Amino acid sequence: MPKGLLYLAAAITAEVIATSALKASEGFTRPLPSLVVLAGYAIAFYFLSLVLKTAPVGVAYAIWSGVGVVLIALIGWLLLKQPLDAPALIGIGLIVAGVVVIQLFSKTAAH
């Protein structure tokens, strides 16, 4: 796997962990979840900055945010029991389709 994709996967993972901890931080009033949020976002932006050495910012950010949105929606549904209705599922499907199109067909994707 190319280094840029590994960095992108690390950035997405860190961002998803940080975003997942936001609710538990209760407005940054709980120290441990707040630390997870801050560290997670710092790590996510560090790895995203490495991705930007080899990929255009628009493409890298589209993949990073798109995959992050889908994963957070799934975590909300599976772990937090937050319902997803048909329009939400269609929207998530469109995001996934967009990321797949970029990865498969774009000559500017993070390879």
* Residue-wise pLDDT tens digits, 32-76: 999 999 999 999 999 999 999 988 898 899 899 999 999 999 999
**Is 43 or 4 the better-scoring residue by pLDDT?**
43
- Does residue 87 lie in a domain region? yes
pTM: 0.86
In DSSP notation, the chain reads --HHHHHHHHHHHHHHHHHHHHHHHTTTTSHHHHHHHHHHHHHHHHHHHHHTTTS-HHHHHHHHHHHHHHHHHHHHHHTS-----HHHHHHHHHHHHHHHHHHHH-TTS--
Task: Give the mean pLDDT of the chain.
Answer: 92
Report residue 47 as tokens: 């790895």
Q: What is the domain range of residue 38?
A: 3-105
Is residue 12 in a domain? yes
User: How many domains would you assign to the chain?
Assistant: 1
